[in-house]
Amino acid sequence: MEMYDVLIVGAGPAGMAAAVRASQSGVRVGVVDDNPDLGGQIWRNEKLKPKSDESKIWFERIRSAEFDFIAGTRIVGQASENSLLGERDGEPIELGYHHLILATGARELFLPFPGWTLPNVMGAGGLQALVKSGLPIEGKTVVVAGSGPLLVAVAAFLKSRGAHVALIAEQAPLWRLGSFGLAVARDAVKRRQALALRAETKGIPYRTGTWPVEALGHEHLESIRLTNGRSTWQVVCDYLACGFGLVPNSELAGFLGSGIQTCDDSDPHPTKPVQARVVSVGESIGIGGLACALVEGEIAGLLASGQVDKARELIPKRTKDREFATVLAHSFALRDELKKLATPDTIVCRCEDVKYSALVNYSNFTSAKLQTRCGMGPCQAKVCGAATTFLFGWTDVSLRPPLGPVSLATLAKVQQPHPKVG
């Protein structure tokens, strides 16, 4: 077993910021991630060629930091009270810690609608990741649809790679986006980023109050039907990049029972904060954006390595960034019409091919799972769990190890506590 003073799960912006700050005190720091390199989804493949000022700054900082990077390793559970069990190349690996920082990020929210399982219907961030990894997109027609600022960023990226982005369809109505626009305008960094994205997406139609209702095609996607609630039309396309916001990757945090602990900046004479053994930061505790993830990572890294005064100085910024997260959630709240897209024959659980008609009469996730196998596939409810929470209001998705598909050798080493429900 490798033992670390500070172990960080997740090598995206929040995890990188935590590693930089914790390493400044000279403690032994480990960063574990299932990807082959640092950066997470947002800074994927930017280590050598950063695309933004923020990524350039943090990749420069991370290069001068001393830590162990445990790449290609997926955390699947606990090995003991003070250690996690991971799997790398099909073999178990045990990682011990004195302080644990969970910077596990977020994943896209997918909502079922007719045809959403057709080949070339992908998550917005998923298509972006595939293109970054080499999927040819030049000359292909793409519709970007769903909700949230990610749509615009993905459209800009795809356009830069030669795709023809026919449309950005944002489900939120225009009147809801006003508060988001004002919040962006008041922040110099966010305002500069927004203006840059606007320039990069020039010529791409941006329709608010618009959402997909059906993907059409035979062996693969051929077109997409869209609506604004008053009329419906069809757009021919090669790809649909669709995501309805983000869902925190909170399974490991919920399993361990952790939560972020920081100083209280409302107290004029704050006492030394409790340095919790486990803290969660960034998108894993709520979608707050890049700036919020970075500052929370810094705070966690400083606290875990005993740099309390430096951590306290960052609390006001963290408070401000979390306020922006509230505006973000309100502005891009999902409309009720999206709950009515699925037909009786629409698949909701893709792993087990469970249709909407098989789920609609159950009152909770546990009952549906026992009777239909919904949520029992390889993704372990990471897709259908969030979808059914939105569709039916189910919140009782069980948490138990392993937290992903593993080899039998690894499974034999997973600690099996009593199942937790959250």
pLDDT by residue (tens digit) across 234-249? Answer: 999 999 999 999 999 9
- Per DSSP bridges, beta strands 106-108 and 246-248 are antiparallel
- The reported pLDDT for the residue numbered 88 is 94
Please determine, for residue 396, whether its predicted confidence score (pLDDT) is greater than 70. no
Instruction: Pick 361 or 405 by higher pLDDT.
Output: 361
Please determine, for residue 368, whether its predicted confidence score (pLDDT) is greater than 80. yes
User: In angstroms, what is the C-alpha Rg of the chain?
Assistant: 22
> Does 359 lie in the same domain as 291?
no
Token pair in block for residue 29: 């720091």
- The reported pLDDT for the residue numbered 276 is 56
Token pair in block for residue 85: 């069990």
Residues 262, 265: Cα–Cα separation, whole Å: 9
- The reported pLDDT for the residue numbered 53 is 87
Token pair in block for residue 369: 């799972």
> For 319-340, what is the mean pLDDT?
94
For the entire predicted model, the pTM comes to 0.90
- The reported pLDDT for the residue numbered 272 is 41
Per-position DSSP letters for 36-97, written without gaps between them: SSSSTTTTTT-SSS--SHHHHHHHHHHHTS--EEE-S-EEEEEEETTEEEEEETTEEEEEEE
Token pair in block for residue 365: 């996730």
- The reported pLDDT for the residue numbered 273 is 43
Q: How many whole angstroms from its chain centre is CA 390?
A: 17
Residues 163, 29: Cα–Cα separation, whole Å: 41
Backbone angles phi, psi at 269, to 5 degrees: -130, 65
End-to-end C-alpha distance for the chain, whole angstroms: 30
- The reported pLDDT for the residue numbered 419 is 47
> Does 231 lie in the same domain as 134?
yes
Q: Which domain holds residue 401?
A: 342-414
Please determine, for residue 275, whether its predicted confidence score (pLDDT) is greater than 60. no
CB-based contacts of 90: which residues, under 8 Å, 6+ apart? Answer: 407, 409, 410
Residues 159, 337: Cα–Cα separation, whole Å: 30
Residue 183 lies in a domain: yes
Residues 16, 387: Cα–Cα separation, whole Å: 30
Give yes or no for a contact between 216 and 172, defined as CB atoms under 8 angstroms apart.
no
> Does 399 lie in the same domain as 296?
no
* Longest distance between any two alpha carbons in the chain, whole Å: 66
> For 346-362, what is the mean pLDDT?
96
Token pair in block for residue 39: 């950066």
> Does 185 lie in the same domain as 72?
no
> For 240-265, what is the mean pLDDT?
79
Q: Tally the domains of the chain.
A: 3
> For 262-290, what is the mean pLDDT?
66
pLDDT band of residue 397 (cuts 50, 70, 90) is low
Residues 292, 287: Cα–Cα separation, whole Å: 9
> Does 215 lie in the same domain as 142?
yes
Count CA within 13 A, CB hemisphere, residue 37.
12
pLDDT band of residue 271 (cuts 50, 70, 90) is very low
> For 134-148, what is the mean pLDDT?
97
Residue 160 lies in a domain: yes
> Does 219 lie in the same domain as 155?
yes
CATH code of the domain covering residue 176 = 3.50.50.60
Least confident segment among 151-155, 344-348, 377-381: 377-381
Residue 364 lies in a domain: yes
- Final residue of a domain: which of 244, 271, 297? 244
What element of type H or E holds 322? Answer: helix 315-331
To the nearest 10°, the Cα dihedral for 289, 291, 295, 297?
50
HEC states along 212-251? EEEEEECCCEEEEEEECCCCEEEEECCEEEEEECEEECCH
Residue 333 lies in a domain: no
- The reported pLDDT for the residue numbered 264 is 47
Cα–Cα distances in angstroms (integers) from residue 400 to residues 141, 354, 363, 377, in the given order: 41, 22, 21, 14
- Final residue of a domain: which of 270, 301, 328? 328
Average pLDDT score, the chain: 91
Please determine, for residue 307, whether its predicted confidence score (pLDDT) is greater than 50. yes
Residues 307, 309: Cα–Cα separation, whole Å: 6
Residues 270, 276: Cα–Cα separation, whole Å: 16
